[in-house]
Structure 1
């Protein structure tokens, strides 16, 4: 699609669209007029009814609400000026009118299922249906907390079912004879209507949560302690939110997620750090070849480093400023293997996988938490994984080469970055090599006290019982009433 010389608005106003606007302006010569958003106010943010300037396009980028925004705007604004944007394989895809029409057909099908959900849940209440089922909702991917609590409850013999639209993970659960249904199926909506609890660790399918009956309960576990700023979820309120400490609730989560009760039980995904052995359910979606390699070498002279950069919104922003040949030589010298766990936007790095003796590429959607137990050094930047890694009190390197740009795009950090990142900081490859040498060769680690201090602030519990606490004190406690 041609944007040169055009006047463009972008909707809605989020950290993602802020980054989108910045990158798009670097690629195209156009006039950026600002953001269109029904729910936010600020400089260069207008509601659809407030648009007075002449414009050529409004680009709509929202993974969960794109169709709803498009339908709402199309009632007030010329449809031929509305462009829906998706991110596919790291590139921005500007949908044609027919593609938008097809996605709207899917959206209408979803709305019919939502109506069915509301009616079914109400009818089950009227006939006095006894609800015992716990339904886990995982859109796009079954991620860490949902997986950990689901497998725990399954092994306990509770009536559970995983709802997902990730076909590969769906098949893997089927292979293990675990209860699973396709998220977009009518069966899934029937299971939601029957559920006593719906459990999530992402902020999607919020409309479905709002359609449940008052006799049903919702539990949100979220996907980590946030470092970057997040917009408040105003469209849904949960019955329970799983957190890690009062400090985290007061400073971040309560400002993002609305819930009736906040439970500081910790994250189920972190239980695996304390387990002596891992069974086949713990290793679900795990790259077992790499896991076995790390477990074999952990505690030996050969060190395991894991690099997990945070998610960037596009392939350009996600590219890592590293010379992998040079890095591989440094790793050989230090007797270290580096495992990279990258977002699927950076798939092109896989093409070079065979070239490096000391660099391994973890599957992009695989569960890395079993591997963290056998990791000597974590390299990251702004990802919440490093908060969890504090429970192991091992060295962390913050490869924050784009800190200023990232901070600006994300509207700042929730915590003071320097205080809340206890580890070595590397702004370039040379500094990264130096940090690795100090930890591995010299044996220097002057941040252990800082890590322990931060851990005690962020985690009320530092044990392996988060799943058990949630299961007994929340799920089973309510079901048995």
Structure 2
């Protein structure tokens, strides 16, 4: 089976290369991809939306995983199915690739194609070559780092949300191209659409009650807890029944799992309290509609901080995660812009505290935003797009 896989990858690589030699370059074609073709979201979406409005002469096309094409069809977004012959042709013809995660290593980048890597978060947990021990299935530490840097060597541009990230990205990715320190385009939405009208629209779209506060629970994945390569396990580590009994009169919870998590949690027993919105196309709308964020080590809290709303960190496994899984770039316990809790009881108590306590003052969120969110102003997509289009047209 392994030998067959190697042969197929070599075949795909040769086919990709041959198709690139068979078609003329289209210097007005741009290919976008988000989270391995699974979503219409994140930084690529923000750049796509800006370019659609301000650069109508360009042809913009999305790369979509065959299992996740529904969202593109529903929203009438032009797409091509990933890994098909048509996809290989378009990838070769494109003047620009825009993606927020790594492409398969077997894909050779044509010399006359520009590659914009947007990435997908300000780093708390260690990345790339900074990871001491890789626990993900299907690889080992040396191979992971070697493959990561082989991919990053193809990038021409890399977006950074702040100077803190720029320093880490350059080292952890061993990136020697051009870093665009612009803020994250995906956060423009939080500045341009955070209003009651849009919040009501999202509540209606998701069929959420209008008389309850919304908690967004958005945990990350664990490298050492998996079904197989690329499919990670996740279990709710709090007492949902107790949460519903204590909070159900005033709150609902939106669950947003990481795109690498493969679980289909059965929440039918907690209807009208717990809503699984993992399949929703973009977490940015969920930020805006929520009153409170609960996360753990996910980079979502760097983005959510722009809204100046309470955040709680449910870190039931923090010692194991810090010491054995990834490790952190800074002292998370003292610098987190919200309290760290480890039990259901403490979590419920802290949620109730957000109703009477000024979290922003207690947890110095203004200082946190000054360090990590200073570039966010609603115009990052413009800065990135204008720079890239200028390069294409030069």
Q: Do these two structures clear the TM 0.5 threshold for a shared fold by scoring above it?
A: yes
Give me the CA root mean square deviation: 2.9
- In structure 1, what is the equivalent of residue 286 of structure 2? 371
Q: Which runs of 5+ in 1 are unaligned?
A: 1-96
**1:191 maps to which of 87, 90, 95:** 90
Q: 1:401 to 1:192 in 2, by over 3 A?
A: same
Offset at residue 317 of structure 1 (A): 6.0
2:86 and 2:362 map into 1 onto residues whose CA distance is: 50
Offset at residue 436 of structure 1 (A): 0.7
- Counterparts of 1:321-400 in structure 2, within 5 Å, are 321-333=237-249, 335-343=250-258, 345=261, 347-349=263-265, 351-364=266-279, 366-400=281-315
- In structure 2, what is the equivalent of residue 64 of structure 1? none
Provide Cα deviations, 1:132-159, integer angstroms capped at 9, x if missing partner.
2211134241242222322332344232
> Tell me, what secondary structure is at the counterpart of 2:335?
coil
Offset at residue 273 of structure 1 (A): 0.9
Q: Does structure 2 retain, via aligned residues, the 8 Å contact 1:325–1:356?
A: no
- In structure 1, what is the equivalent of residue 214 of structure 2? 304
2:102 and 2:257 map into 1 onto residues whose CA distance is: 22
Q: Does structure 1 retain, via aligned residues, the 8 Å contact 2:314–2:340?
A: yes
Residues 1:146 and 2:44 aligned together: yes
- In structure 2, what is the equivalent of residue 12 of structure 1? none
> Tell me, what secondary structure is at the counterpart of 2:115?
strand
| TM-score of the pair, normalised by structure 2 | 0.82
> Tell me, what secondary structure is at the counterpart of 1:109?
helix
- In structure 2, what is the equivalent of residue 225 of structure 1? 122
2:339 and 2:160 map into 1 onto residues whose CA distance is: 27
Q: 1:357 to 1:135 in 2, by over 3 A?
A: closer
Q: Does structure 1 retain, via aligned residues, the 8 Å contact 2:20–2:93?
A: no
1:268 and 1:148 map into 2 onto residues whose CA distance is: 6
Q: Which runs of 5+ in 2 are unaligned?
A: 130-147
Offset at residue 117 of structure 1 (A): 4.9
Offset at residue 373 of structure 1 (A): 0.9
Residues 1:134 and 2:30 aligned together: yes
Q: Does structure 2 retain, via aligned residues, the 8 Å contact 1:397–1:425?
A: yes
- In structure 2, what is the equivalent of residue 164 of structure 1? 64
- In structure 1, what is the equivalent of residue 177 of structure 2? 260
1:449 and 1:328 map into 2 onto residues whose CA distance is: 27
Offset at residue 185 of structure 1 (A): 1.4
Q: Does structure 2 retain, via aligned residues, the 8 Å contact 1:114–1:189?
A: yes
Offset at residue 211 of structure 1 (A): 2.9
> Tell me, what secondary structure is at the counterpart of 2:347?
helix
1:175 and 1:444 map into 2 onto residues whose CA distance is: 41
1:229 and 1:377 map into 2 onto residues whose CA distance is: 26
Q: Does structure 2 retain, via aligned residues, the 8 Å contact 1:377–1:396?
A: yes
2:45 and 2:323 map into 1 onto residues whose CA distance is: 33
Q: Does structure 2 retain, via aligned residues, the 8 Å contact 1:196–1:217?
A: yes
Offset at residue 291 of structure 1 (A): 4.4
Q: Does structure 2 retain, via aligned residues, the 8 Å contact 1:340–1:361?
A: yes
Q: Does structure 1 retain, via aligned residues, the 8 Å contact 2:295–2:301?
A: yes
> Tell me, what secondary structure is at the counterpart of 1:255?
helix
**2:208 maps to which of 280, 289, 293:** 293
Give the structure with higher Rg (CA).
1
**2:226 maps to which of 314, 325, 332:** 314
- In structure 2, what is the equivalent of residue 270 of structure 1? 187
2:42 and 2:66 map into 1 onto residues whose CA distance is: 14
How many residue pairs get aligned? The number is 359
> Tell me, what secondary structure is at the counterpart of 2:62?
strand
1:191 and 1:102 map into 2 onto residues whose CA distance is: 26
Offset at residue 433 of structure 1 (A): 0.9
**2:379 maps to which of 457, 465, 471:** 465
1:205 and 1:167 map into 2 onto residues whose CA distance is: 17
| TM-score of the pair, normalised by structure 1 | 0.68
